[in-house]
Amino acid sequence: MRKRILLILALAVSFTSLKAQNVIDLIIAEALAVPDSTGIVDDFGRRGGWIEIFNTSQGTVNFAGCFLTDDRNNLKKSIIPKGDLRTKLGPRQTTLIYASGNGADGTLYADFEIRPGSTVYLVSNDGRTIIDSLVVPASLPAGMSMSKRAFDLRQSEFEPLPDPTVPSPGIYNGDLNAATKAEAMAEKDPHGGILSLVAVTVVFSALAILWFLFWLFFDRPAKKAAQAKEKPKNSAAKAQVKAGEVSDEIAAVIALAMDMEQGGDVYAAIAMAMDLYFSDTVHDTESFILTMRPKDGSAWNDKKQIFRKLPR
Amino acid sequence: MEHIFQSLSQFWEYTGFANCSWQNIVMIGIGIVFITLAIVKEWEPMLLVPIGFGMIIGNIPMFPGLNIGIYEDGSVLNILYQGVRQGWYPPLIFLGIGAMTDFSALISQPRLILIGAAAQMGIFGAYLLALLFGFAPNEAGAIGIIGGADGPTAIFLSSKLAPDLMGAIAVSAYSYMALVPVIQRPIMLLLTTKKERLIKMPTPRAVSQREKIIFPIIGFLTTAFIVPSGLPLLGMLFFGNLLKESGVTRRLANTASGPMIDVVTTLIGLTVGASTQADKFLSAKSILIFGLGLLSFVIATTCGVLFVKIMNLFIKNPAKKINPLIGNAGVSAVPDSARVSEVVGREFDTKNHLLMHAMGPNVAGVIGSAVAAGILLAFLG
């Protein structure tokens, strides 16, 4: 039992650490195994394979400490070193890791070369959790890459393309010129009728649900309870209300108005006290009643502890 | 001697007189009118004084490049303006509004919630009209929200949908909120009969503290699940209300509804005013926005009042009829529009107090306009 709890805790901590870092928002967006003569060169002027990492989130993600590997049995094959600002990837940004086979070349270099027929994995900083992977088929021709592209409207879910593509290192694999929501709406609903209808329906639905919930669970039971418990008021109070001079409602209105005008609880208390005095009734459950209770809080917020003598 | 004249000449180029244009003078004049209205007529002084003075600040002609203007990166005004531009201030104001709002009137008469929904028709009426006048959908959405009669919501949405129009939208929204008594009264009288104006509504039932505590939680869950894009406004509104009603966080509620909202209101008013630099503000678009804003208020008020009349058709018990004079209060603008209901109601029966009843649709309007803003943001953002 204890072990299970520890295991659950460990998993929870592991998951939390992943979430905290947001590294789960990273994907391997593209990978090239064998370059052709037009391929990009690294900082040392060499042409080789590369892996493109993309941050799908709207926040900055630091992937220092994460791992890259092409071996499922060795997830810690190539570590991304810590202490380099280039490991902080801005929202919706890409970075390239050169698969030079020598991680000592720099922060953005992997300790392996990509072989056609392998799979590239991006592993979390815990060294166990695979965040994303991309298959590099054996038939991948030189100078072509495998990539993922966003297909959903929000461009947040990326799917691997089945066929090799022309490499686009460091460039977002999506339609940057895609129509904005407003442009799409202008095309679909030029006169605004559909949006207005939908929006009005949603506003009404949201507030109608709220009304229904409160009517069902509070208003109706409260009214039923009030009907059941209703007792005739004493004659003095009745006479006052009948005269139309003072009623609960008027007093409450005065209290509310004063409270809004002056922003002071004092006025509300005075109005309420007047109502109680004139109507000769005490409402324990009245909405606007003010109940004075002795403070029994802790000492730290006690006024006596806060006050100090004025300097002389 | 020549050097002195050169220096004086150079100094002259730095002065406001050398860089002044007639547009600056017009905007400064408008700012002074705002301040005058606020002080003499007491129309929304908390807003119009900062906005008016902000207009004067923003339209002092100056030599560009000194890094002091509101649109110059890194200047003090620019940093303060980021609260508007990025939409930080409106949710903070909503926190304060939540902490000072008593939802009792709404909880005791849940049916009044629907009036708050009906009055949001002003938003979509203005949206349709703005499209008709050739505005892009995102701009039309930002203009439409003026009809929600909620300044922070208007600023929040326009900062997301049409930042370039934000100055005109914010000034328009706040101006019409200040003019609520002038705009709404004739519409209310036009759409109601004398008999309807004399309807006395039943005394609302007492609301327990438990209901008041549960309301912000259920209210938030219901609205936020339906319109998650309204999260910043709805979350802060209901959170502020929970601080108030929980009874154990009085100090936090007092801070949110007092010093904090005062600070943010000052900053939002001043920076919105200062953002109305003549070269960016004085345009045909701005005038059109003012016109559409007025229409949105008219539509919202009309829909609120008419909706109550329609509701009354379905209420058989005469004692439970709703006075249509509270229909106008659905347009947010807390508590001014509710106050208009009270004042107009008492014109016809001095003992007919509608304020407490009108507060129901009034606070429902705040929720409704935040929901509407969320929908527009989801579709057009």
> Could you list the pLDDT tens digit for every one of the 381 residues in chain B?
788 888 888 888 778 887 788 888 999 999 999 999 889 988 778 888 999 999 999 998 887 777 888 888 888 999 999 998 888 999 999 999 999 988 888 888 889 999 999 999 999 999 999 999 999 999 999 999 998 888 889 999 998 898 888 888 988 888 888 888 889 999 999 999 999 999 999 888 888 899 999 999 999 999 999 999 889 999 999 999 999 999 899 999 999 999 999 999 999 999 988 988 887 788 888 889 999 999 999 999 999 999 999 999 999 888 889 999 999 999 888 788 898 999 999 999 988 889 889 988 999 999 999 999 999 999 987
Q: Is A222 on the interface with B (CB under 8 A)?
A: yes
Q: Who wins on pLDDT, B9 or A22?
A: B9
Higher pLDDT, residue A251 or B216? B216
Cβ neighbours of B116 in A, within 8 Å: 207
* Mutation site, A58, A181, A195, interface B, largest B CB count within 10 A: A195
Residue B261 backbone phi and psi in degrees, to 5: -65, -30
How far A154 CA lies from chain B's nearest CA (Å)? Answer: 11
Q: What would the 3-class secondary structure string for B171-198 be?
A: HHHHHHHHCHHHHHHHHHHHHCCHHHHC
From A14's Cα to the closest Cα of chain B, the distance in A is 28
Q: How far apart are CA A29 and CA A159, in angstroms?
A: 9
Continuous segment of H or E residues that includes residue B233: helix B231-246
Q: What is the pTM of this model?
A: 0.72
Contacts of B352 (CB under 8 A, 6+ apart): B198, B200, B323, B345, B346
Show the tokens assigned to A63. 């992937």
Query: Which residues on chain B are in Cβ contact (under 8 Å) with A196?
Result: 124, 127-128
Neighbouring CB atoms inside 10 A of A172's CB total: 16
d(CA A279, CA A273): 10
Q: Which helix (H) or strand (E) holds A68?
A: strand A67-69
Best A194, A210, A213 member to test B by mutation, with max B CBs in 10 Å, is A210
Beta-bridge mates of residue A95: A53
Please state, in angstroms and rounded to a whole number, the distance separating the CA atoms of residues A35 and A43: 16
* Stronger pLDDT, B299 or A8, i.e. the higher one: B299
Distance from C-alpha of B381 to C-alpha of B376, rounded to nearest angstrom: 7
Instruction: Residue window 42-61, chain A: list those with CB within 8 Å of chain B.
Output: none
What are the tokens at A132? 């994303």
B207 contacts in A (CB within 8 Å)?
A: 287
Residue B125's pLDDT is what?
93
Q: What is the mean pLDDT of residues A258-263?
A: 60
What's residue A9's pLDDT? 52
Q: Do B367 and A210 touch (CB under 8 A)?
A: yes
More confident residue, A285 or B312: B312
Residue B140: list chain A partners with CB under 8 A. Answer: 192
Q: Which helix (H) or strand (E) holds B19?
A: helix B16-19
Give how far B372 is from chain A: nearest CA, Å.
6
Cα–Cα distances in angstroms (integers) from residue A227 to residues A110, B9, B210, in the given order:
77, 85, 20
B-facing residues of A in 179-198 (CB < 8 A) are 180-182, 185-186, 189-193, 195-196, 198
Task: Kindly list the residues from chain A whose CB atom is less than 8 angstroms away from the CB atom of residue B353.
Answer: 249-250, 253
Tell me the nearest-neighbour CA distance from B2 into chain A, angstroms: 55
More confidently predicted of A267 and B236: B236
CB–CB contacts below 8 A, A to B: 152
Mutate to test the interface with A, among B97, B107, B113 (most CBs of A within 10 A): B113
Q: Is there a contact between B226 and A202 if contact means CB atoms under 8 Å apart?
A: yes
| Nearest-CB residue to A287 (from B108, B121, B351) | B108
Find out whether A280 and A236 touch, Cβ atoms under 8 Å: yes
**Residues B136 and B347 sit within 8 Å (Cβ to Cβ):** no
Cβ–Cβ below 8 Å for A199 and B140:
no
